Amino acid sequence: MAEQFQDQGGAATMDPSPLYRWLTSKVMTRVSDPARLAKQRAGIEKKRLKAGEPHRVEYFHQVEDGYSHLAAQVLRSLAERYAIELVCHLVEGPQGKNVPEPELLLGLSRYDAFHVAPEYGLEFPGHEAAPVPALVKLASAILAAQDSKGFIDCVADVGRALWGNDELALRALAESHGSASVAETTAQINAGTARREELKHYSGAMFYYAQEWYWGVDRLYHLEKRLATLGVDRHSGQPMIMPRPSAAAGEHKDSASLTFEVYPSLRSPYSAIAFDRAVQLARDTGVKLVVRPVLPMVMRGVPATREKGMYIFTDAAREAREAGIAYGNFYDPIGDPARRCYSLYPWALEQGKGDELLSSFLGAAFAKGINTNNDKGLKRVVEDAGLDWGEAKKRLGQPGWEELLEENRLAMYAAGLWGVPSFRLLDENGEQLLALWGQDRLWLFAREIQRQLALRQ
pLDDT in tens, 107-136: 999 999 999 999 999 999 988 899 999 999
Over 80: is that where the pLDDT of 444 sits?
yes
Over 70: is that where the pLDDT of 278 sits?
yes
Over 70: is that where the pLDDT of 355 sits?
yes
149 and 267 belong to one structural domain: no
Mean pLDDT computed over 87-112? 87
What pLDDT score does 5 carry? 32
Over 60: is that where the pLDDT of 364 sits?
yes
- Whether residue 68 is contained in a domain is answered as yes
213 and 278 belong to one structural domain: no
Over 90: is that where the pLDDT of 98 sits?
no
Measured in whole angstroms, the distance separating CA 433 from the mean position of its chain's CA atoms is 21
Mean pLDDT computed over 427-443? 96
| Neighbouring residues of 194: CB distance < 8 A, sequence distance ≥ 6 | none
Over 80: is that where the pLDDT of 391 sits?
yes
CATH number at residue 73: 3.40.30.10
Grade residue 92 by pLDDT with cuts at 50, 70 and 90: very high
Mean pLDDT computed over 382-402? 97
What pLDDT score does 298 carry? 75
User: pTM for this structure?
Assistant: 0.94
What pLDDT score does 9 carry? 37
Over 80: is that where the pLDDT of 304 sits?
no
- Whether residue 20 is contained in a domain is answered as no
What pLDDT score does 8 carry? 34
274 and 383 belong to one structural domain: yes
Name the nearest CA neighbour of 153 among 211, 93, 46, 77: 77
Lowest mean pLDDT among 104-108, 200-204, 381-385, 400-404: 104-108
- Whether residue 98 is contained in a domain is answered as yes
204 and 268 belong to one structural domain: no
Count of H-run helices and E-run strands, the chain? 18, 8
What pLDDT score does 10 carry? 36
Range of the domain at 358: 259-305+329-455
What pLDDT score does 95 carry? 80
Lowest mean pLDDT among 6-20, 54-68, 256-270, 334-348: 6-20
Cis peptide leading into residue 421 (ω within 30°): yes
- Whether residue 241 is contained in a domain is answered as no
- Whether residue 320 is contained in a domain is answered as no
222 and 284 belong to one structural domain: no
Domain boundary among 229, 251, 274: 229
272 and 161 belong to one structural domain: no
Name the nearest CA neighbour of 293 among 348, 351, 254, 332: 348
119 and 80 belong to one structural domain: yes
The total number of structural domains that make up the chain: 2
Over 50: is that where the pLDDT of 11 sits?
no
Grade residue 7 by pLDDT with cuts at 50, 70 and 90: very low
Over 60: is that where the pLDDT of 446 sits?
yes
For residue range 12-31, list pLDDT tens digits in order.
345 788 888 899 899 889 98
183 and 269 belong to one structural domain: no
- Whether residue 43 is contained in a domain is answered as yes
284 and 215 belong to one structural domain: no
Lowest mean pLDDT among 17-21, 55-59, 133-137, 435-439: 17-21
- Whether residue 236 is contained in a domain is answered as no
Mean pLDDT of the chain, nearest integer: 93
| Local structure of residue 304 (DSSP, 8 states) | B
- Give me the percent of the chain exceeding a pLDDT of 70: 96
For residue range 149-200, list pLDDT tens digits in order.
999 999 999 999 999 999 999 999 999 999 999 999 999 999 999 999 999 9
Angstrom distance (rounded) from CA 283 to CA 296: 26
Lowest mean pLDDT among 25-29, 87-91, 210-214, 234-238: 25-29
156 and 204 belong to one structural domain: yes
What pLDDT score does 301 carry? 66
112 and 53 belong to one structural domain: yes
Over 70: is that where the pLDDT of 100 sits?
no
What pLDDT score does 303 carry? 65
| Local structure of residue 129 (DSSP, 8 states) | S
343 and 435 belong to one structural domain: yes
Rg, C-alpha atoms of the chain: 23
What is 316-343 written as a DSSP string?
HHHHHHHHT---------TTHHHHHHHH
For residues 304 and 9, the answer to whether their CB atoms sit within 8 Å is yes
What pLDDT score does 128 carry? 84
Q: Amino acid letter at 346?
A: P
- Whether residue 386 is contained in a domain is answered as yes
Where residue 205 falls (left for φ over 0; alpha for ψ -120 to 50; beta otherwise) is left
Phi first, then psi, for residue 146 (nearest 5°) are: -100, 150
